[in-house]
Amino acid sequence: MIYDAWLVLGILAVAIVLFVTELVRVDVVAMGVVVVLILTGILTPSEAISGFSNSAVIVIGALFVVGGAISQTGLAGMIGRRVLRIAGTDQRKLMVVLFLAVAFLSSFMSNTGTVAVLLPAVVILARTANISPSKLLIPMAYGSLVGGAMTLIGTPPNLIVSDLLLETGYEPFTFFSFTPMGLVLVLVGIVYMLVIGRRLLPDRDTQSPRNVVIPEPKEEIIDRYQLPNNIFRLRVRLWSRLIDKTLAEAHFGDQYNITVLEILRREEPRPALRLVRPKTNENQEIKRRSFIPEADSVLEADDILIVQGDAHNVGRVAAEWALGVQAATEANVTEEAVSRINNEVGVAEILIPNRSHLIGKTVVNTRFGAKYNLTVLGILAPGGKGDVNIREHKLEFGDTLLVQGRWEDIIALREDRRDFVVLGQPEATLRNPDRSKAIMALGVLAVMIVFMVTGWLPLVAVALAASLAMVLTGCLTMDDAYTAIDWKSLILIAGMIPMSIALEKVGLINLAANGLTEFFGPYGPTAVMAGLFLLTSLFTQFISNTATTVVVAPVALTAATSLGVSPYAFLMAVAIAASMAFATPVASPSNTLVMGAGNYRFGDYIKVGTPLIFLTLIATLIVLPLLFPF
């Protein structure tokens, strides 16, 4: 048994190191844990795969679908924007309203989804009020994290601790069990931000790079990415050797470092006998249609190519192929490179997260265009680094890429969450939100909450029924439902649940609980709860809050049992601490999303977030024993 205990402890230590360093995807680590526990004989196969049938995993997966419907129908955006309209332009009022709005939305849907939906509106609102976005975006991220602690479905840790209670013979937490404590934390967060936090928040220049997705004023996108400086119009002259050749045969990319963004072609064929170049004013009157350039696109006389590249290289290609060249103006860039946002093609901004494989590589090294079918129009680096050479810049954490291409290809980047964070809701542009569907989604959500509050049906049945109703009512398709599910998170939870079983089986849970009670026990249950809170909040700054909860929650339950006290306060403290991911930009996707938009640095999160963690600890130690007496 001692050997088994050391073996399990070693497996856990390796998993934690991999979670922190992210050398391997977290879901792969979780699956590796399952496999190793089987191969070493620590767990039987049925024990090792028990996480995949765990009710908490099923409920969380169903709630991802419900949240996806709320987001895709535009319901979340509608609610958020209406709430923000009442905020006015006063910074303190804006901060309070924003904190409350995101906390409310995050109590019913993903906090990451809430931040992504409201981010563009908040940045534009900040500009309108002449306030630096850096004064509002960290409060928004923190509000989303606190909001997750307000309801049973607000965040996975809440469901995990509730399911643990149910499995061990206790009454689980109800839908609003977390609400009283959550409201206290929201109040603490607002007061802290108004009194202390707003003084600690940086006041960065509003002209610094910001990662805001369309919709945004086109002129501002052009100005921020300096598009007129590297976009040109090339006209295929009648005597050009490029006529009847494909783009692949022109070798624009590999020989000249030039990207063709778009091809404009005459709607009507040129008159056969017209051999001279038309006058400028006549050329402007020619009606043209736009289409996306492909490698096998065959070029014709009078085609206009919208290209991106260095002016010297554009001059070389124009001379080589007898092309007319015209530098883009802000007017024609607005018309030709940015505003073509329709049901097929558009532009969006994507963020490079800290775990991305692209970090340290250039766009050219990654073969971005060939791999993702998208063109990088510009790059904004965090920290106000100024102009960035697209071809030579090595990508860094926090870089924001402006990309152009088909909406389907832009949305597809969401599948690769390790490498990209797609900002905003491109699918909302692809399919205009249907108000009737938004109302339908609101109705399904309301019915789901009623059944969860009353307890008339098991939680897993209600969640599955709600997700099915979202599909049957057309709020999202079945394919969209699969896309809405964060499979990585589900695999992570399902894979780490067997680890908690193994820790229990070899006696490490009892050992950790006994150590905790021996150290803090003489000072009372409140001190033990404080130790659990600090341990959980420390881990959650660097690894997933779900993985942290899966490991720490059984320790909390065993500690409560050994002390002979009710486990409810201990387990709720663990769930709350797991959501208090304030001190690093990598602690939560919400923090990562706002980093570039607010031009934040790593130290900003430590400075603003650490005091808030200790304030939430104090509030938890005071209020939880009153709500759930020991």
CA distance 337 to 267: 19
Q: Tokens 């759930």 appear where?
A: 628
| Among the listed residues 571, 536, 569, the one whose alpha carbon sits nearest the alpha carbon of residue 557 | 571
Residue 34 has pLDDT above 60, yes or no: yes
Q: What percent of the chain has pLDDT over 70?
A: 82
pLDDT level of residue 568 (50, 70, 90 thresholds): very high
| Among the listed residues 414, 421, 304, 407, the one whose alpha carbon sits nearest the alpha carbon of residue 356 | 421
- For the whole model, what pTM was predicted? 0.67
Tokens of 139: 């409060």
**Where is mean pLDDT largest: 23-27, 537-541, 544-548?**
537-541
- Sequence-distant contacts of 326-333: CB under 8 A, at least 24 apart: 326/232, 326/233, 326/234, 326/235, 327/228, 327/232, 327/233, 328/227, 328/228, 328/231, 328/232, 328/233, 329/228, 330/219, 330/222, 330/228, 332/233, 333/222, 333/227, 333/228, 333/231
Tokens of 573: 């403290």
- Note the pLDDT tens digit of each residue in 496-513: 888 888 888 888 887 888
Q: Tokens 């680590």 appear where?
A: 29
- Residue 273 confidence (pLDDT): 46
- Note the pLDDT tens digit of each residue in 416-438: 766 787 765 555 444 455 678 88
Q: What angle, rounded to 10 degrees, do the helices at 55-72 and 111-128 form?
A: 30
Which positions ≥6 away from 489 have C-beta within 8 Å?
27, 60, 156, 544, 546
How large is the average pLDDT for residues 565-574? Answer: 94
| Among the listed residues 230, 188, 267, the one whose alpha carbon sits nearest the alpha carbon of residue 582 | 188
Who wins on pLDDT, 119 or 213? 119
Helix (H) or strand (E) holding 348: strand 345-351
- Residue 584 confidence (pLDDT): 82
Residue 1 has pLDDT above 70, yes or no: no
pLDDT level of residue 622 (50, 70, 90 thresholds): very high
CATH superfamily of 218-338: Regulator of K+ conductance, C-terminal domain (3.30.70.1450)
CATH 3.30.70.1450 fits domain 345-422: yes
For 162, what's the count of Cα atoms within 13 Å in the CB-facing half-sphere?
26
Least confident interval from 266-275, 433-442, 517-526? 266-275
**Where is mean pLDDT largest: 159-168, 375-384, 502-511?**
159-168
Average pLDDT over the chain reads 79
Who wins on pLDDT, 148 or 330? 148
Q: What angle, rounded to 10 degrees, do the helices at 525-540 and 508-520 form?
A: 120
CA distance 467 to 306: 44
Cis upstream peptide for 585 (omega within 30°): no
Tokens of 30: 């979780």
How large is the average pLDDT for residues 403-413? Answer: 76
Least confident interval from 59-68, 202-211, 548-557? 202-211
Sign of CA dihedral 120, 591, 387, 260: negative
Residue 51 has pLDDT above 70, yes or no: yes
Who wins on pLDDT, 286 or 383? 286
- Residue 407 confidence (pLDDT): 73
**Residue 533 phi, psi dihedral angles, 5° rounding:** -60, -50
Least confident interval from 10-14, 223-227, 230-234, 273-277? 273-277
User: Phi/psi class of residue 257: alpha, beta or left (left: φ > 0; alpha: ψ in -120 to 50)?
Assistant: left
Least confident interval from 61-65, 186-190, 423-427, 579-583? 423-427
CA distance 564 to 525: 10
How large is the average pLDDT for residues 6-17? Answer: 87
| Among the listed residues 119, 109, 26, the one whose alpha carbon sits nearest the alpha carbon of residue 75 | 109
Across-strand partners of 327? 232
Helix (H) or strand (E) holding 145: helix 137-147
How large is the average pLDDT for residues 242-256? Answer: 82
Residue 155 has pLDDT above 70, yes or no: yes
- Residue 181 confidence (pLDDT): 95
For β-strands 421-422 and 231-236, DSSP reports them as unpaired
How large is the average pLDDT for residues 33-45? Answer: 91
CA distance 358 to 241: 38
Tokens of 291: 């289409």
Q: Tokens 């526990």 appear where?
A: 37
| Among the listed residues 427, 401, 404, 405, the one whose alpha carbon sits nearest the alpha carbon of residue 414 | 427
Across-strand partners of 421? 351
pLDDT level of residue 385 (50, 70, 90 thresholds): low
- Residue 17 confidence (pLDDT): 85
- Note the pLDDT tens digit of each residue in 179-226: 999 999 999 999 999 999 989 998 865 443 333 333 444 444 555 555
pLDDT level of residue 576 (50, 70, 90 thresholds): very high
| Among the listed residues 477, 560, 481, 576, the one whose alpha carbon sits nearest the alpha carbon of residue 516 | 560
What residue ranges of the chain are covered by domains with CATH 3.30.70.1450? 218-338, 345-422
Q: Are 45 and 39 in contact (CB under 8 A)?
A: no
**Where is mean pLDDT largest: 74-78, 128-132, 395-399, 459-463?**
459-463
